Amino acid sequence: MSVPLPKISVVMPAYNTERFVAEAIESILSQTYRDFELIIVNDGSTDGTLALIRRFEGRDARIRVISRQNTGIVGARNDGMAVARGELIASMDSDDIALPRRLELQATFMDAHPEVVCVGGAGEIIDERGRYLTTLHLPTSDGDISMAALTGHTPIWGPAATFRRDAAQQIGGFCEAFKFAEDLDLLLKLGELGKLANLHQPVVRYRLRSGSITGVTNANAQRSAMERACQNAWKRRGVEHRFEAWTPMRPGKSTHSRQEFALKCGWWAFKSGERWTAFVYGMKAAAIRPLDSASWRLTACSLLKSPTPMEATPQLESRTAPRQPNESQSKWRRVYSGSRRRLRGALRSGIVSLIYHRIAANNGDAADRIVSPERFAEQLEVLQKWGTPIRTADLPEMIANRRFPRRGFVVTFDDGYVDNLLAAKPMLERAHLPATVFVSSGFSTKARAFPWGQETAMTPQQIRELAASGVIDVGGHTMNHPRLIALDAMSQRGEILGCKRELEEILERPVTAFSYPFGWYRTDFSDTAVRIVRDAGFKCAFSVRPAPIVAGIDPFMIPRCWVSDWDGDRFAQQLRDWFSR
């Protein structure tokens, strides 16, 4: 009797990670998606790593263990891939944590997008002790990912990548010649066989360790290998690019580098609301350079100041698994934090801005862009009872005068899908609720489908029909939906001004609101884009960040909260949580 082959082979190299490997293995065994095998390659560990792995091997038949002499991570990954039987290979590091739905989300996405050869996702950054620091989001479209890779970035994290086994075999797996940059080299080669993608949702908790494999002593070698990988890709593709400046995430040996690393981790934690972790890193920075005021500034802020909406770090509200309180955090601190948040929500006046994309039948949307009509109806009913509807055109004056309703909300849609007209508009009209649809004009004027899912964009006539309803306003969203931070200033200006011009020609009226594609500040757009939007004559602009609009907000950095396909009760809970931040 033949044994059925698994859909996914998870390949996990392990070298002297006794402290973390059990948690990494448990995170795979706890996946909601069950059709996988876990191949663990012990790369000559000299601590208790192998003994821990063997215990798990005896518990679960899906685990296969390879143990051999140390040859390095590239050889370990290739050895794991050589015995893999799955259609897909999911990379996993032995010191990271896979979020519970990682395999489910990525397998569903790959089944729905056969043209994609590799998919990653956003990641939650944690430190060596598992303390949460921030959530980092990466470009999601093939064009933006490819451009980032060709200029020396790694836009799909190795431990978050799931790729097709036949494609990896076709390019020969990971290349030993690019040690320390094997992930980038693999990504560049896979991008020549098919499309690359990232999920919007976090799929992994990435542990930032100063002493990990790509540590301080290998920083120069890593940069050199990354540059060589890019140069080889340019030559294969017959293109010319510039290798961009590269800064390692981990510290060097100097006191300045180690202090900068502590400050980066501390400010990440502070802006994520993790004030105790911020205090810990402030004290670490002060211990390294006690006479530098930057260290004490972080320490003081962690004790005395709350992050403002402008300071909050972009992260998804609906993380796949709730983050558990750190054991070192005392009971009184948790009680204090919760009470403080609830009190702030009870006393605050402000507005929650919501971001939708499509209203359509949801048949397993891995990108989390679709809300079904039934769920949207429930959400609109909640909004009618919850607060005051606000039009985007009224926001600049409210922000300038610092006058907000007790509880208000703004409804927005991004991209300009045809179902915004056919499905969302009638439901908004029946509920008497205003909304703004931000349109990427190039897909409408050139009658192109959106590249990430082949969904249909509205035609110019449909955009006019949408705006004529009196319920829905139209805003700008660039011409071609690029990741603006990857473009030079002139190209950004062309995208932003071109969109404004095209939409105003269609509507024969000014377009005064804008939303940044993808929307995460410093990940998808920078201060350059903000300045261009302001100079272009827009009155306000929207990002993506789960926080309310309150006094002091920059009208060109208005936060929005990403809405998923939730029922009414879950949506109401999310509204309360967002508002109290």
Residues 138-180: tens digit of each pLDDT:
999 999 899 999 988 889 999 999 999 999 999 999 999 988 8
336 or 578, which is more confident: 578
Query: Of the ranges 182-191, 312-321, 372-381, 473-482, which one carries the lowest mean pLDDT score?
Result: 312-321
| Cα 522 from chain centre | 12
pLDDT of residue 300 exceeding 60, the answer is: yes
Q: How far apart are CA 338 and CA 84, in angstroms?
A: 46
Could you tell me the domains of the chain?
8-127+135-211+220-229 (3.90.550.10), 255-329 (no CATH), 351-579 (3.20.20.370)
Quick one: average pLDDT of 96-122? 95
CB neighbourhood size of 317 (10 A): 16
Give the pLDDT of residue 403. Answer: 86
Query: Where are any strands of DSSP class E within 137-248?
Result: 162-164, 195-207
CB neighbourhood size of 385 (10 A): 8
Inter-axis angle of helices 568-579 and 373-386, to 10 degrees?
Answer: 50
- Chain segment 397-453, per-residue pLDDT in tens: 999 988 888 889 999 999 999 999 999 999 999 999 999 999 999 998 887 777 766
108 pLDDT tier (thresholds 50, 70, 90): very high
Give the pLDDT of residue 580. Answer: 74
- Chain segment 471-513, per-residue pLDDT in tens: 999 999 999 999 898 888 899 999 999 999 999 999 999 999 9
Q: How far apart are CA 288 and CA 337, in angstroms?
A: 29
At 489, list the tokens. 């200033």
Q: How far apart are CA 519 and CA 232, in angstroms?
A: 32
Which ranges in 305-330 belong to alpha helices (H)?
none
pLDDT of residue 341 exceeding 50, the answer is: no
- Chain segment 18-76, per-residue pLDDT in tens: 999 999 999 999 899 999 999 999 999 999 999 999 989 988 899 999 999 999 999 99
On average, the pLDDT of the chain sits at 87
* Residue of 3, 45, 57, 2 whose CA lies nearest to 20: 45
Place of tokens 């490997």: 21
pLDDT of residue 96 exceeding 90, the answer is: yes
Whole-angstrom CA distances from 528 to 476, 484, 542 are 17, 9, 15
What does DSSP assign to residue 293?
H
Q: How far apart are CA 211 and CA 193, in angstroms?
A: 35
Q: How far apart are CA 433 and CA 410, in angstroms?
A: 9
At 297, list the tokens. 């500034």
420 or 310, which is more confident: 420
Q: Which residues contact 58 (CB under 8 A, 6 or more apart)?
A: none
What pairing do the DSSP bridges indicate for beta strands 116-126 and 195-207? parallel
Question: Could you give the 3-state DSSP secondary structure of residue 142?
Answer: helix
Which ranges in 387-508 belong to alpha helices (H)?
395-401, 418-419, 425-431, 441-445, 460-467, 489-507
* Residue of 43, 70, 74 whose CA lies nearest to 186: 74
Q: Which residues contact 201 (CB under 8 A, 6 or more apart)?
A: 101, 105, 121, 122, 316, 318, 320, 368
Give the pLDDT of residue 546. Answer: 85
Query: Of the ranges 90-94, 212-216, 495-499, 573-577, which one carries the lowest mean pLDDT score?
Result: 212-216
Share of the chain above pLDDT 70, in %: 88
- Chain segment 348-392, per-residue pLDDT in tens: 578 999 999 999 987 766 567 899 999 999 999 999 999 999 999
302 or 341, which is more confident: 302
320 or 73, which is more confident: 73
Q: How far apart are CA 23 and CA 330, in angstroms?
A: 23
490: left (phi over 0), alpha (psi -120 to 50) or beta: alpha
Q: How far apart are CA 562 and CA 357, in angstroms?
A: 9
